[in-house]
Amino acid sequence: MSRIGVFVCHCGTNIAGTVDVEAVADAARQMPNVAYAGTNKYMCSAQGQDYIVDIIKEHNLDRVVIASCSPRMHERLFRKVLAEKTDLNPYLLEVANIREQCSWVHKDKQIGTPKAINLVAMAVAKADCDTQLFTHEIPVTKRALIIGGGIAGIQAALDIADAGFPVTIVERKTTIGGKMPMLDKTFPTLDCSACISTPKMSECEAHPLIEIKTLSEVEKVEGYIGNFDVTIREKAKYIDYDKCTGCGMCETKCPQKKIPSEFNQGMSTRTAVYKPFPQAVPSKPTIDADHCRMLTEGKCGVCAKVCPTGAIDYQDVDRVTTERYGAIVLATGYELIDWTRLYGEYGGGRYADVISGLQFERLVNASGPTEGHILRPSDGTEPKTMVIVKCVGSRDPHKGVPYCSRACCMYGAKHAHQFMDKVPGGKCFVFYMDVRTPGKNYDEFYMNTLHEGARYIRGRISKITRRSDGKLVCLGEDTLSGNVVEVDADMVVLETAMVPPEGAKKLAQTVNTQLGPEGFFTEAHPKLRPVETNTGGLYLAGTAQGPKDIPDTVAQAGAAAAKVIGLLCKQSIESNPMVAHVDDSKCSGCGACVDICPYSAVTLVEKTLRENSRKVTRTVAQVNEGLCQGCGACTVACRPGASDLLGFNDEGIMREVEAYATR
Amino acid sequence: MPRDNEQTGEFTPKILAFCCNWCTYAGADLAGLNRMNYPADVKVLRVPCSGRVNPQYVLKALQSGCDGVLVCGCHPGDCHYSTGNYYAKRRMMIFKRMVEFAGLSPERFQIRWISGSEAGKFRDTVVEVSEQIRALGPMENDAPSRAAIDAVAGTVASPEADEELFAAAKEAI
Amino acid sequence: MADVQDTIRERAAALLSSGEVSAVIGWGAGRFDDVRFPLVVKRAEDAGKLVFDASCVQMTAKRLLEHTGEGKVALVARGCESRAVNRFIADHQLTRDQVYVIGVPCPGMVDPATGETLKRCAECQVRNPVVHDELVGDPVPEPKPYRFAEVDRVEAMSREERRAFFDEMYGKCIRCYACRNACPCCTCRECFVEQDKVGWQGKAFNVNEARYYGMIRAFHTGDRCIECGECERACPMGLPLMVIMHQQVRDIDKLFGPYEGGGLTDSGPDPLRTYKTDDIEEFM
């Protein structure tokens, strides 16, 4: 026999206006196991809390039902009251929602009161089956893993490391830095992108608490918040970084010189042993195994001959390590949509002078393939008329992606500005759907570009054809005037959509989190938990979460770092006690729960149990309480109900059902 | 609780709605916050996830006095626990077909996906289900008519099923 | 079948005397000519007691679970028993190395009461063992008879008639749990019906409680049913229990298929233990 106390809240007139709270308390007194029922004006107020505490002591109550607002509102508060001010276990509490789901949706007491009584009866029935639950301490490994070494990953790594926690950056390319060092200037201030990003890269390299693993990928993640066991594959670089001094001898002598440079977007070439750009970090080369003649054909070996320190190692193999981290930040960035595959009307990549925005960045960059001179890739002449097409792929659900890529309006304006700046007398036409400039000093920048003479035409380009004289004929419509517009351009720049990087889906499965329909990682709450994921200890930074520009990326990386630091500075964290629990005596080890668990929290283990005064060793399911999030999907798959969800146990729900059905 | 409204004599159904904590329960709270009005026939039972709803609860509810059961969860793909509602969907699809095969009126057991922001959909669902069940009347109305009983009489068990054995068993139990 | 029976006896004796298996599970003679019972033979000299003829109506596979931990046990397995073996393995109740399967293609058994083919054999989809260590006798043809005739009949009824059908069926149920005990999918250590505290199943003897038992048991086994029909055969009241199993099997096959009867392999997730993000949506 339990002794349940029922506390009915007036919530001023919020509840009492349409529910006769005294009648509810009267009815509650007649319910089984109810030892006390009373009302209070505001149960959540200090005075209301004291009332609950006093009554619990006075009437020696062992269960509490509070009929008030939604449990999503104040359940936590009332639990805290029980934990701090009474001897009751805080989980011996049920909240009957008689405000949001009763008094607020019904107009008079005739309807509200009987419904409230029903809701209280259900809560009373469930409370009777509640058991004491206890949290336990999960130790926290004070190290963070950053997946992705772009500006988001770098910023997060620096912030976390500066707070005193070791950080590992896993980067799949040969250098950290991501896309930012490829950019020429950043809007709206036009400061040199490489000049502000490469110092951060070297800061990472020099930081005593930051370890950088390039050419590496995360293969497996096991464990849970505070204790992730992460398996990382570091691919063979064929160069012993302990010996290599980064002198660059190998690069100058490598006979394979015709490989398109990824860093310059295919507009220049590199060697097979290479550093993608001079300020790359780590500032040591790697051998591209797909193009190295020694590795593909077994003959050459020039680099090994010229290397003064003997650092070249053609026998190098992948290294796989498993280490434990307390938190993981996903900073996997973005890729640009492959417009050549989608937009045949823009030439589908057949016209050399139709380039992407990122290619333009390299063209206009002083360290790029043309040393900063804007020259047509086809013939090396200076274009006099340039067309910029925005929203290529973005906001185009039929061909590309439905969302806005957020940064293109601004860098489109920047490209127009840079063109007019570098090509005196040059004409620039910008085809746009909308101009979106919601950032500090952004609209001013756009207005400036307009004043400099960029012609903005509202409409999409429908077709680009190349005339025999090399001109690109761009056909579009000015939707404001309704006129057909035809521009003979020397060069066309397509501002293409940001899309999730290849492998995001696989990574989501590896780290056990979700992707949105567009393929970016899903945050725990779009407004209130923007850098967390639904998986504890897993955070998001930068464009991994969705398209954004550099300021937003850096801000979010800092926010993710703050969350990580907040976690890592704890010695331990409290577990959620409302998790699945397996009754060994009922469990036949069939493994249904193992198949179902989305968190891999259930495993089959051999256990020695005492049954009928005998020791028996059997296979039973076991729940890892750190991993279990308490969804209860396994409990339904468990036919004998051996797996039960603490806090929402089968018995409690069945009683709740019966309390309503038979009342 | 009286089954019929004392004043009007109108039948008030008992409908139990299993709602997941993260979507539908939040949607129901939002309906309250927006002061939407809907019939009091539906009472919400909070579960962490639609994947926690055991079909056994549903049958228990329908057999012990409820006139209808509603199971609600997040839209597929939006589950707080990522996959719970996908399992719920499969289970409920099979279970619903089975209970309907066994003669339950389909309206008495329904499943809906209602997100935390769909307060209007929650209200509409409650109104719709409540009206459907009011039209059907109490659970007892599901019982077969004499004609239906006669139509299937004798076609169920094989002829050699022993009346005496049944009587003896009933006696013994 | 006499040859097959001789070979079974020979092989059983050989397996037992070589010590490869500790027991052989098959059938033995009953008190009457047309009655056979499951028989567990542990000594080679008893192998001659094994019988295999058209009266072996019981499904013996579940006996295996009574002998785990006694070393390898041989099972004389027809299509249905072999599928049960796969079922046990999938449910982690047995490992493949714990059982030696003497496969026997089965031409179908005879119902001693009517003298006709046993109902579960008349609906059988898999007469030849799907798993075996050795095969005794030649494979038999697989006629794959239509097994949903009863489902069709009930489905064609009006809702009220269906309700009347099941009222009558569950009204006759005496809740002896013979169906559960016979079922190769029912391998729980403690059945939900016996858990008084949680209160799944009431104790009252009425159609509602019988319906609760019958339907929940059907749901528990629905996505794993090997369609052996042993529940129906074991039912002392002669209730058409397979109708609700076949109905589920057909729905699962249609919705999440293919599910051409369970137990064809010992792996693969059961339909209700998995999902596809593009499962059809009918609950919007």
Question: Residues A502-548: pLDDT tens digits?
Answer: 999 899 888 878 787 789 998 877 777 899 987 889 999 999 999 99
With a cut of 80, say whether residue A89 has pLDDT above it: yes
At residue A419's C-alpha, the angle toward residues A415 and A425, to 5°, is: 150
Q: What is the mean pLDDT of residues A257-267?
A: 93
- Say whether C200 and B162 touch across the interface (CB within 8 A): no
Q: What is the DSSP string of A194-206?
A: HHHHHHHHHHHHH
What is the rounded average pLDDT for all residues in chain A?
94
Instruction: List the 84-113 stretch of B: residues with Cβ below 8 A of C.
Output: 86-87, 89-95, 97-105, 110-113
Q: Which residues of A touch B4 (CB under 8 A)?
A: none
A636/B51 touch (CB, cutoff 8 Å), yes or no: yes
Helices marked H in chain C: 2-17, 79-90, 119-122, 149-155, 159-172, 178-182, 207-222, 230-234, 242-256
B77 vs C: CB within 8 A = yes
What confidence tens digit (pLDDT) does each residue in A107-127 have? 999 999 999 999 999 999 999
A339 and A279 part of one domain: no
CA distance B30 to A242: 61
User: What pLDDT does B170 receive?
Assistant: 64
For A104, the closest of B35, B49, B51 (CB atoms) is B35
CATH code of the domain containing A609: 3.30.70.20
From the number of C-beta atoms within 10 Å of its C-beta (0-12, 13-18, 19+), residue A295 rates as: middle
Chain B residues whose CB is inside 8 A of the A117 CB are 1
Q: Which chains are adjacent to chain B, needing at least 3 Cβ pairs under 8 Å?
A: A, C
Q: Are A308 and A124 in contact (CB under 8 A)?
A: no
Is the pLDDT assigned to residue A593 strictly greater than 60? Answer: yes
* Assigned domain for B148 exists: no
Same domain for A479 and A381:
yes
Over residues C75-103, mean pLDDT: 94
What are the tens digits of pLDDT across the range A396-438?
999 999 999 999 999 999 999 999 999 999 999 999 999 999 9
- What is the total count of domains within chain B? 1
Task: Give yes or no for a contact between A621 and A589, defined as CB atoms under 8 angstroms apart.
Answer: yes
Handedness of CA C129, C133, C136, C139 (dihedral sign): positive
CATH code of the domain covering residue B41: 3.40.50
Q: Are residues A368 and A450 in the same domain?
A: yes
Confidence of residue A385 (pLDDT cuts 50, 70, 90): very high
pLDDT(A182) > 80: yes
Tokens, residue C27: 């059938």
Residue A138: inside a domain: no
Residue B165 domain-assigned (yes or no): no
Residues A249 and A364 in one domain: no
Does residue A209 belong to any structural domain of this protein? no
DSSP state of C185: T
Print the domain residue range for A312.
144-179+215-333+507-568
Q: Can you point out the beta strands (E) in A10-62? A: 34-40
Between C216 and B172, whose confidence is greater?
A: C216
* pLDDT 10s digits, B22-74: 889 999 999 999 999 999 999 999 999 999 999 999 999 999 999 999 999 99
Query: B155 CA to chain A: closest CA distance, Å?
Result: 32
A52 and A168 fall within a common domain: no
Report the chain C residue with the minimal C-alpha distance to residue B93. Answer: C282
Residues 569-598 of chain A whose Cβ lies under 8 A from any Cβ of chain B:
578, 596, 598
- Per residue in A325-381, pLDDT (tens digit) is 999 999 999 999 999 999 999 999 999 999 999 999 999 999 999 999 999 999 999
B158 part of a folded domain: no
Q: Which of residues 176-195 of C touch A (CB under 8 A)?
A: 187-192, 195
Could you tell me if A314 lies within 8 Å of chain B, comparing CB atoms? Answer: no
What is residue A612's predicted lDDT score, i.e. its pLDDT? Answer: 85
- Whether residue C231 contacts residue C214, with contact meaning beta carbons closer than 8 Å, is answered with no
Q: What is the pLDDT of residue A514?
A: 76
Q: How confident is the model at residue C133 (pLDDT cuts 50, 70, 90)?
A: very high
The pLDDT value given to residue C20: 94
pLDDT in tens, C160-195: 999 999 999 999 999 999 999 999 999 999 999 999
Give the closest-approach CA distance of B64 to chain C in angstroms: 9
CA distance A489 to A492: 7
A603 and A620 Cβ atoms separated by less than 8 Å:
no
Q: Where are the domains of chain C?
A: 2-135, 149-273
Residue B167 belongs to some domain of the structure? no
Give me the pLDDT at residue B173, please: 59
Lowest mean pLDDT among A316-330, A343-357, C246-260: C246-260
Do residue A328 and residue A347 come from a single domain? no
Residues A385 and A462 in one domain: yes
Q: Answer whether residue B159 shows pLDDT above 60.
A: no
Q: Taking CB atoms and an 8 Å limit, are A631 and B52 in contact across chains?
A: yes
Coil, strand or helix at A288:
coil
User: Are C283 and B143 an interchain contact pair (Cβ–Cβ within 8 Å)?
Assistant: no
Distance (Å, whole) CA C65 – CA C188: 12
pLDDT tens across A621-663, in order?
A: 999 888 888 999 999 999 999 999 999 999 999 999 999 998 8
Average pLDDT, chain C: 92
Quick check: A495 pLDDT over 90? yes
What pLDDT does B162 receive? 56
Percent of chain C at pLDDT above 90? 79
Running DSSP on this structure, what letter comes out for residue C19? T
Clarify whether residues A153 and A97 are in a common domain: no
Is residue A390 in some structural domain?
yes
Domain range for residue B53? Answer: 15-142
Q: What percent of chain A has pLDDT over 70?
A: 100
Cα–Cα distance between B169 and A90 in angstroms, integer? 49
d(CA A211, CA A165): 11
Considering its fold, how many domains does chain A have in total?
Answer: 4
- Partners of C110 in the beta sheet? C117
* Residues A21, A85 within the same domain: yes
Q: How many CB atoms lie within 10 A of CB A77?
A: 12
Question: B148 contacts in C (CB within 8 Å)?
Answer: 158, 160-161, 163-164
Q: How far apart are CA A65 and CA A12, in angstroms?
A: 19
CB interface of C with B, residues 189-228, below 8 Å: 192, 200, 205, 208, 211-212, 215-216, 218-219, 222-223
What is the per-residue pLDDT for C264?
80
- The mean pLDDT of A134-153, rounded to a whole number, is 95
Question: Could you say which of B77, B101, B160 has the minimum Cβ distance to residue C247?
Answer: B101
Q: What is the pLDDT of residue B169?
A: 63
pLDDT of residue B1: 45
- Number of A:B CB contacts under 8 A? 137
**Burial class of residue A88 in the structure, from the number of CB atoms within 10 Å of its CB (0-12 exposed, 13-18 middle, 19+ buried):** buried
Nearest chain B Cα distance for residue A105, angstroms:
5
Q: For the segment A548-582, what is each residue's pLDDT rounded down to a tens digit?
A: 999 999 999 999 999 999 999 999 988 889 999 99
The answer as to whether A466 is a domain residue is yes
A328 lies in the same domain as A340 = no
On whether residue A661 sits in a domain, the answer given is no
Amino acid A663 reads R
pLDDT at A88 over 60: yes
Residues of B in contact with A119 (CB under 8 A): 43
The pLDDT of B5-28, averaged and rounded, is 87
In the prediction, which pLDDT does A52 show?
96
Do A641 and C92 make contact, defined as CB atoms within 8 angstroms?
A: no
Nearest to C238 among B103, B113, B160 (CB): B160
pLDDT, position B2: 47
- Residue A591 and residue A443 share a domain: no
